[in-house]
Amino acid sequence: MERLKVNLCGIELDNPIIPASGTFGFGYEFAELYDINVLGTFSFKGTTKDPRFGNPTPRIAECPMGMINAVGLQNPGVEKVISEELPKLGKCFNKKVMANVSGFAIDDYAYTCEKLDKMEQVGWLEVNVSCPNVHGGGMSFGTSPDAAAEVTKAVKKVTTKPCIIKLSPNVTDIVSIAKACEEAGADGISLINTLLGMRIDLKTRKPVIANKMGGFSGSAIFPVAVRMVYQVAHAVKIPVVGMGGVSSAEDVIEMMLAGATAVEVGAANLINPYACRDIINDLPRVMDKYNINTLEEIIGGVK
């Protein structure tokens, strides 16, 4: 449907709906439930240079209006993603996919991005700078404008495809970080990643997950996400991909009015595996309700 189409970093999407990394695997699991080609695209599971087993269990816990997770970037490593996961995906998804990349050193990011950039299936690289800088005292790359810019420059040197830098909300000034990424050559910004949260089991008097703290996601964080998307979208000239607590077509419209060109759906996929399909199907109804002709026309509509 023409009215749902958007352009993300020079690539046209049939609609702006993108399942978020870590909530949609490598796609083929969901392809057993419905035709995932109805999606705009999706961001596959966060991929690192080397295989990662992830954090000890329990590492996911429900809480009111959301969930806490500390999975720890479990993935088979970039070599196996290329040799095993992408061929399986190719059998059920005929669009460009978004490759989500994580790392613990700048060289890790560059290595993984360079490998995935060569894959025909990959349309965009979503570079998650929320990971700890193991050579810089353990602080996340995404908490410092300079560190985020360094990662951006490193991956842009070795890639030809659009690089979208995924930012952490656990900062004081997200705009300065987004602008630093833009100045370093980023083609887009995606936000927000999870907030840092914690819950305690009253019976055991211990944290509900083994890692003590984890990423808090779900509908409770939506107002924070809308605020940060609005701030960043009005401070940079590159496209913004909004995410954080999105669970309905109305949420998508709100996120786009705030300035998002495309919208990722995360935790909602874990509650309802058909969430993205249902949102896409419902978008025309909501657009009619609010007299919206095309989605392109509302991007950044709130000044």
Side-chain-side CA neighbours of residue 16 (13 Å): 36
- Residue of 9, 63, 113, 131 marked active site: 131
Token output for 18: 């993108």
CB 285 within 8 A of CB 249: yes
- Give DSSP secondary structure letters for 216-228: EESGGGHHHHHHH
Token output for 175: 């705009």
How would you classify residue 72: left for phi > 0, otherwise alpha for psi between -120 and 50, otherwise beta? left
| 181 is known as an active-site residue | no
In angstroms, the CA 28 to CA 49 distance is 22
Q: Is 65 helix (H, G, I), strand (E, B) or coil?
A: coil
Indicate the length of the chain as a whole number. 303
Token output for 66: 């959301």
- Other C-beta atoms lying within 10 Å of the C-beta of residue 174: 22
Catalytic positions, please? 131
